Amino acid sequence: MKVRSQRCQRVGDQLKSEISIMLLKEIKDPRIGFVTVMDVEVSPDLSQAEVFFTVFGTEQERVDTLAGLRSTAGYLRREMGRRLHLKRIPELHFRYDSTTDKGEHLEELFVRIHREQEAE
């Protein structure tokens, strides 16, 4: 886990909140599925932000959602500039967060192991 300054953490939390609200209420791109913004990591100079998200659905729906998110990055950035009153709004880079997938996979393995042990 990366150690982040309080400033980067605070800005990341603000961005996460605003992006989540905008995706829920304002963005109407049909490619974007049911998205959850998991985390936003901001570079120390506040010029870049990695937005980690999850989306329920197939691999193709994830690809489509990523394309939709990338196409809305400019709009999101402009709106955050208006709303957050920061000197610099970072460029947004969207990354799929596979942590949930890995957790689901582990859960499936545990269920399978438990069933096999009960069958013995």
Q: What digits encode the pLDDT tens for the residues 35-72?
A: 999 999 999 999 999 999 999 888 899 999 999 999 99
Q: What is the pLDDT of residue 33?
A: 84
Please check the confidence at residue 120 and state whether its pLDDT lies above 80.
no
For 87, the domain range is: 6-119
- Residue 12, number of CB atoms within 10 A of its CB: 20
- CA dist 35 → 41, 43, 44, 92 (Å): 17, 23, 26, 16
Mean pLDDT value of segment 16-29: 94
H helices of the chain, in order, are 6-25, 59-84, 99-119
CATH number of the CATH domain containing 33: 3.30.300.20
Instruction: Report how far Cα 19 is from the mean position of its chain's Cα atoms.
Output: 9
Radius of gyration over every alpha carbon of the chain, rounded to an integer in angstroms: 18
In a domain, residue 29? The reply is: yes
pLDDT at 32 over 70: yes
Per-residue pLDDT at 58? 87
69-112 pLDDT, tens digit per residue, is: 999 999 999 999 999 988 889 999 999 998 766 566 567 777 77
Nearest to 31 by CA among 74, 75, 61: 61
Count of domains forming the chain:
1
Element (H, E) at 42: strand 35-42
Is residue 50 a part of any domain in this protein?
Answer: yes
The alpha helices in 52-98, defined as continuous H runs, are 59-84
Output phi, psi for 86, to 5 deg.
-95, 150
Residue 1 is predicted with a pLDDT of 47
Query: Contact, 54 vs 23, CB < 8 A?
Result: no
User: Above 80 in pLDDT, residue 11?
Assistant: yes
